[in-house]
Structure 1
Amino acid sequence: MLLSPFEWMIAKRYMLPGRGEAFIALVAGISLVAVMLGVAALVIVMSVMNGFRAELFDKIVGLNGHAIVQAYGGRLDNWQDVLEDVRQTPGVTRASPLIEQPLLATFNGRVEAILVRGNTQEDIARIKSKVTAGSLTPLRPGGDMVAIGSRLAQNLGAQVGDTITVINPQGRSTPFGTVPRQIGYQVAAIIEIGVYDYDQAFVVMPIADAQTLLLTGDTIGMIEVTTTDPDNVETILAPLEEKLAGQAIVTSWKTINASLFEALAVERVAMFVVLSIIVLVAVFNILSSLIMLVRAKTRDIAILRTMGATRRSLMKVFVTAGFLIGALGTGAGVLLGFVFLFFRQPIVRGVELMTGQNLWDPSIRFLTELPSRTDPVEVAVICVLALVLSFLATLYPASRAASTDPVQVLRYE
């Protein structure tokens, strides 16, 4: 809808009302700010929700793989053969033996529930980037060295070089009952995965040491699997699941974390709908400001009609005036949203300092920092939504202006 020079001149004049129309200008300015805040809120919330899901997915799946092959009863005896079958399955990129067992750890009188994780040397090397203190190099079979989560280290008061005691209730039998097995392990490294539940419980050791601690012999608990496409992991592993029927069960990340990711998906949709209402309210402000502008300019519109201005021209003038308010608010909102996301962590810390409240508790939020991942497609959808609503809001006032009867207006002039 291109404007002629005449139409553009009138549109610019109406977008900047005179002194006697300051209230109309104020309402138009409020409309612009409202659109800006609504669009910014949508961009910020959707980016944070996307970032939360992506970060959580990367950390959980990156550590545990896309699926788990777990034996009935918790012990996989012929795991070498099963491991070979998994690795030969089309679509599988990596498969590693794994032992996970909840136990207890003590240090200086403090007791904490832990999750002992027995990994291969290759898998231990993969978490090298997560080390915050010490080194993973000493973690060798038979070395009685472990890496522990950062939160667990804080809860126990342990540091690199300290010796923690891991307690296995399934110890040796004596005439007086079962004596829990207690083995001391020196802390070689402190790791931070970024997921609170992992950082407060993980004790990583070589898989041979985990077998010795748990008295399982040459067996493992499970095999973690990584595939080419995590979204289609169930389809990729369907042949393997049929082959291992009755021997082991294949569980994908979707099943393991189903409640968490489904809750995130529902919350994401709900937040989009709720925050879209803010944009809708801002659009009604544009509608009201244009209606007031048409009422104030009724005489001017009538004069323009008598001078030869067509209904179509007047329609285009008022649609342009209202649409530009929405367009400017949308652009400013996207810019404000990106600025907020870039400085999100300092903003959160600043609000925490001012209010004295912990806004991002890792024990509740799972992640240690506020994440963000902007989806260009979603930003485009938000912009289109705001612009379409702004355009629709201009149609009624513009049609009223275009239908002005100059005879009725100027009869008594």
Structure 2
Amino acid sequence: MILSAHERMIARRYLLPHKGEGFIFVVAGFSVGAVALGVAALIVVMSVMNGFRADLFDRIVGLNGHAVVQGYNGQLEDWENVVDLAIATEGVTEATPMIEQPLMASSNGRVEGILLRGLRVEDITGNPLISENITAGRLSDVRVGSGNIALGARLAESLGARVGSEVSLISPEGRSTPVGTLPRIVSYRVSAIFEVGVYDYDKAFVVMPVEDAQTLLMLGDMVTTVELEVTDPDRVGRLLAPLAPQVSRSGVIVDWRQMNSALFEALEVERVAMFIVLCIIILVAAFNIASSLIMLVRAKRRDIAILRTMGASRAGMTRIFMAVGLTIGLVGILIGLALGATFLFFRQGVVDLIQAASGQDLWDPSVRFLSELPSKTDPFEVAAIVLVTLILVFIATLFPARKAAATDPVEVLRYE
């Protein structure tokens, strides 16, 4: 929309308050604020939800892989062959044998349910999600036959365990006696404590060398699963389709979407719902802009009539009032972008401040999965938010602009 020099001058005058037009200016100010809050809320909510999904995905996949080959009855006898077949499959970048078994742990008179994870030593130290998040102790001390293990931070808190503490792992698969099967209880020393940032994992995971796990669970040379990583997680099903029939005699392939389908589907539904709900805020702001323009048109009827008698065209009057409305919308968008960026930059500080002021735990990791408020801003989503806002503002300016253009100068100036 291109305005001539005199149209730009008139639009500037209409944007600034004059005597007797304070109420119109206040309404326009509220419109700017509503647009700004709507844009900021959309950017913040969408960025936090994107960050939540991305962070959760990275941490879940970082510990569980993109897919796993699960052995029937919880055992993979020919896991070496499964690993070889997986590595030979196009698109598979890594195949890691491991043992995963729910057990019980006891320390300092406390008992907690755990998820034992047995990995090769090189896989333990080579996993950045574990090795880069050690909060106490040394991961290098977790070696075969050392009797050392690594615990999740929340589990360590629940058991009252620290580096150097003794933790007893209790397996129901023990030795048979005349009175039944006695559970197998083996004590290990805590040599490292890690915090990956996912509450459920930090609360349950115990990591040890796979050879020690085989001894504890009396599995011999067997493992329970083979963890797979692929080049493109979104195409994991298609990439692993050729491998499925090859390993069908040993186990079944389960990918990350099947393991966490309910969680990620719920996140996606909530993301779409929040976008629609927050767009309503911008729609209300657009109605406010329309209201302020309607009042401005009524206040400027005499000016419009004079301009029309001086040769101003209907199209020119339409452009002037649309420029006024769009300017209000653009100012609101710019303020909203600034507010959204500021909140996202200081998001954790804001959450901590509100928690301190209210005394409420707004980000309980036992409920939210992650330990901190995440964020990931998508430039394409921000552009879409700005575009949607501009479209709504543009539509809101059409009626008052056309109303101004339809002003009949003869009718207005008849009694002047």
Question: C-alpha offsets along residues 267-311 of structure 1, whole Å, 9 cap, x if unaligned?
Answer: 000000000000000000000000000000001100111111111
Offset at residue 176 of structure 1 (A): 2.3
Counterpart Cα distance in 1 of 2:245 and 2:293:
66
- Corresponding residue for residue 48 of structure 1: 48
- Corresponding residue for residue 290 of structure 2: 287
Counterpart Cα distance in 2 of 1:245 and 1:157:
43
1:9-408 equivalences in 2 (<5 Å): 9-125=9-125, 126=127, 127-408=130-411
Offset at residue 245 of structure 1 (A): 2.1
AA aligned opposite 1:86 = A
Counterpart Cα distance in 2 of 1:379 and 1:242:
44
SS at match of 1:171: coil
Offset at residue 388 of structure 1 (A): 1.0
Offset at residue 28 of structure 1 (A): 0.3
Q: Percentage identity across aligned positions? A: 59
SS at match of 1:200: helix
SS at match of 1:170: coil
Q: Is the 8 A contact 2:151 2:192 kept in 1?
A: yes
Offset at residue 86 of structure 1 (A): 0.8
Question: C-alpha offsets along residues 169-197 of structure 1, whole Å, 9 cap, x if unaligned?
Answer: 11111122211111110000000011000
Q: Is the 8 A contact 2:77 2:250 kept in 1?
A: no
RMSD between superposed Cα atoms in Å = 0.7
AA aligned opposite 2:50 = N
SS at match of 1:111: strand
Offset at residue 358 of structure 1 (A): 0.4
SS at match of 2:277: helix
Question: C-alpha offsets along residues 88-131 of structure 1, whole Å, 9 cap, x if unaligned?
Answer: 11100010001000000111100000111001112201221021
Question: C-alpha offsets along residues 209-231 of structure 1, whole Å, 9 cap, x if unaligned?
Answer: 00000011100000000000000
Range with bigger deviation, 271-280 or 80-89: 80-89
Q: Is the 8 A contact 2:78 2:250 kept in 1?
A: no
TM-score (structure 2 length as normaliser): 0.98
Counterpart Cα distance in 2 of 1:148 and 1:247:
31
Offset at residue 22 of structure 1 (A): 0.1
Range with bigger deviation, 304-313 or 90-99: 304-313
In the alignment, structure 1 segments of 5+ residues that lack a partner are none
AA aligned opposite 1:39 = V
Range with bigger deviation, 176-185 or 366-375: 176-185
The structure 1 segments of at least 4 consecutive aligned residues displaced by more than 4 Å after TM superposition are: none
AA aligned opposite 1:114 = I
AA aligned opposite 2:60 = I
Offset at residue 243 of structure 1 (A): 1.4
Offset at residue 359 of structure 1 (A): 0.2
AA aligned opposite 1:264 = L
Q: What number of residue pairs does the alignment pair up? A: 413
Question: C-alpha offsets along residues 354-407 of structure 1, whole Å, 9 cap, x if unaligned?
Answer: 111000000000000000000000000000000111111111101110111100
Counterpart Cα distance in 2 of 1:379 and 1:120:
44
